[in-house]
Amino acid sequence: MKKIFLSVFIIISQIVLSQIKKPVNLPHFDKSLFHFGFYFGINDKGYDIELKETPSLTYISQNGFNVGGIIDIRLNNNLNLRLEPGLSTNTKTIYFSENKFPGEDNEREISSTSIRVPLVLKFSANRIRNIRPYMLAGVAYDYNLSSNENNSKDNSEGEFRMKTKTFTYEVGLGCDIYLYYFKFSPSIRAVYGFNNELIQDDNIGDNWTDNIDLMKVKGVFLNFSFE
């Protein structure tokens, strides 16, 4: 993920430098009350895990993807309200302590395909020819379509259960780049969960979830929007 961020940063830096010297594109774009667009990107979404005692698990997160639409409302010259409904996928593999779970029973895979509905405030600096940096802050509702919250099985039968509904907040940075026909906007966001996603196993005192106090979303999203 770090190599991807570095490569994207270098490419975008070159685009930004090239646009500073060019004629002004889309001079009236930001004056409209509403405009629409779409985005796609990648994410590295994991967990903020708090344990009751000594460490008993680790996890590995695979990069997922994001795709969705944008509804942008202009509030004033430097502030916009954005609704960004979309779809996000991600897979994590949890590894429990080998001392407690010898063999293959120490792994659990958590796959999520979520409908995300972020509501974001966008704080933009004044435009410099074809460049306009901005900051983002907002909240989001996540509905996990692949949740096993209602599954009667637990870890004793191989099911690591997570909640269906999650609420998160996010902060980020980005830059609007005004091209000839459209506006291109890369952004990077840190996403954090409000609520505990973990569903404890039914048997109190088990070896899987008993030592976990809470598991909340923690991740990084890299989005590319076109408006």
Q: What is the mean pLDDT of the chain?
A: 82
Nearest Cα to 124, choosing from 181, 81, 184? 81
Instruction: Name the band, by pLDDT with cuts 50, 70 and 90, for residue 114.
Output: very high
What pTM was computed for the model?
0.82
Instruction: Return the CATH number of the domain spanning residue range 2-226.
Output: 2.40.160
Residue 154 confidence (pLDDT): 63
What are 191-214's pLDDT values in tens digits? 999 988 877 777 665 667 777 778
- Cβ(223)–Cβ(43) below 8 Å: no
Arithmetic mean of pLDDT, 89-117: 77
Q: Is the model more confident about 180 or about 66?
A: 66
What are 24-33's pLDDT values in tens digits? 887 788 888 9
